[in-house]
Amino acid sequence: MLATFADDVCLTYRSRCEHDAADGIQDFAYRFSEWARRWNIGINSSKSNNVCFTLKRRTPPPVYIEEVPVPQPNAAKYLGVLLDRRLTFSKHVTDIRTRLRAKVAKHYWLLSSRSKLSLSNKLTIYKQILAPNWKYGCQIWGLACDSHIKRIQAIQNKVARLTTGCEWFVRNTTLHRDLKLATLQSRPKVTGCLSGARDGHSACVIGNSMYIFGGFVDEINELSSDVHSFNLDTMEWRYVKTFGVPPSYRDFHASPGGELLSRDRLPGHEVFGGYNGLLDHQFNDLYTFASRTKLWNLIRANGKAPTARRRQCAIVIGTRMFLFGGTSPRSGSSSSPAAVSPTQEAGRVLPPSAALIDCSDLHVLDFESTLKTLATMVVLKHQLDISELPRSLRSDLQMLTQPNSIIRPINQAC
């Protein structure tokens, strides 16, 4: 699996044998080096790390980038989280404790009982400056052991006592209850039919419920097209029985919530685009789901639809849906085997990501189009003369036709 964030690239390979995992990563390293050389991108092998997550004690085989061995530390930091070989997160907890203690000492004169700040202001300092240090990447606390979690919880207990100046015999549970502070181990008690663990799904809040659709379910190793709802008041999961024809199996689609783009103004959400890795197909269809009637509808809009894509963002404002960005195959509106598999160009092997292009186009779906909008689309379609139009209309037309320069043209799809 390949993951990118800004200029960081993370490659994971899963295998029961560390030699097979090293061979898989090495094979990709060769192809990635060829691709980077072709696009004049430098790779700093000294800043790269090769960590084998295993309980075995023996050293895994080395991995080379441009004939330079990649260092093999016992832990590596990725996106601010220290990942050790055994995934105990002990080094990450130690790093958090060091940063927290330094910040508590720096703000001691504001948090101590001698400070003239009110208790609410002290709590604001804790929540805005201190708490984000351990809340970042909070997903790992579900995997860390209790002893590591208690090391971070001890600092929060000390801060609670420092801000209140309470006596030693006051219990920590009493402090947290009075200050309305949640502990690291506190989790909301949920009931109902919990959906399976998944990724690439969409989640949007409508009223007092959160609706989840699609994604790749790990338990069954398949894509999903079911809908689950979670009531934020009663903390209860429910499987939603829907009507109509739902969207096909997909993940990494866009699903903005709010009022449906319909005359009834029913609460619900839309589903646009996505990707089916089993069929190697990307979508550009649009569906609506009404949360009251539990009904799916396929929307056939007029005008030129966006190209098939995934990982785009969309938002509904008023009677319009704005869609921006995403990833599309080079071959056109639908993916092909050559678009998502390693390709051969000029004798060079390119990684799968090189066959995909990042989009920077903006599309607007207007359900209640005004006469001005319809006239504007006619002018653009037939390329009519706009020199005699008012300045405000000419400005709007120029904004609609102005090229997008957010990303480099070399990586522009649309």
Q: Pick from 84, 105, 124: which residue ends a domain?
A: 84
Give domain status of residue 288, yes or no: yes
Per-residue pLDDT of the chain (414 residues; tens, 9 = 90+): 777 777 788 888 888 888 888 888 888 888 888 888 888 888 877 788 888 888 888 888 888 888 888 888 888 888 888 888 888 888 999 999 999 999 999 999 999 888 999 999 999 999 999 989 888 888 788 788 888 889 989 999 999 999 888 888 899 999 999 998 888 877 778 899 888 888 899 998 888 889 999 999 888 888 988 999 999 989 999 999 999 999 999 999 998 876 555 545 557 788 999 999 888 899 999 998 988 889 999 988 888 889 999 999 998 888 888 999 898 887 643 443 333 333 343 334 444 445 788 888 888 888 888 888 888 888 888 888 888 888 888 888 887 777 655 444 444 444
Domain count across the chain: 4
Instruction: Examine the domain organization and report whether 126 and 51 are in the same domain.
Output: no
Domain contains 408: yes
**Same domain? 269 vs 387:** no
Q: What is the CATH number of the domain that holds 292?
A: 2.120.10.80
Cα–Cα distance for residue pair 363/316, rounded to 1 Å: 12
Cβ atoms 83, 75 nearer than 8 A: yes
| 313 bridge partner residues | 324
What is the domain extent for residue 34? 2-84
- Tell me which of 84, 109, 139 is where a domain ends: 84
Whether residue 300 is contained in a domain is answered as yes
Q: Are residues 272 and 224 part of one domain?
A: yes
Does one domain contain both 134 and 251?
A: no
One domain for residues 294 and 413: no
Q: Is 174 left (phi over 0), alpha (psi -120 to 50) or beta?
A: alpha
Q: Which residues are within 8 A (CB) of 145 and not within 5 positions of it... i.e. 6 or more apart?
A: 88
374 and 399 belong to one structural domain: yes
Is residue 186 domain-resident? no
Torsion of CA 173, 177, 181, 182, to 10 degrees: 70
Same domain, 110 and 135: yes
Query: Where among 151, 179, 207 does a domain terminate?
Result: 179
Locate 309 and state its tokens: 């894509």
What DSSP letter does each residue of 198-221 carry, written as one string?
Answer: EES-EEEEETTEEEEE--EETTTT
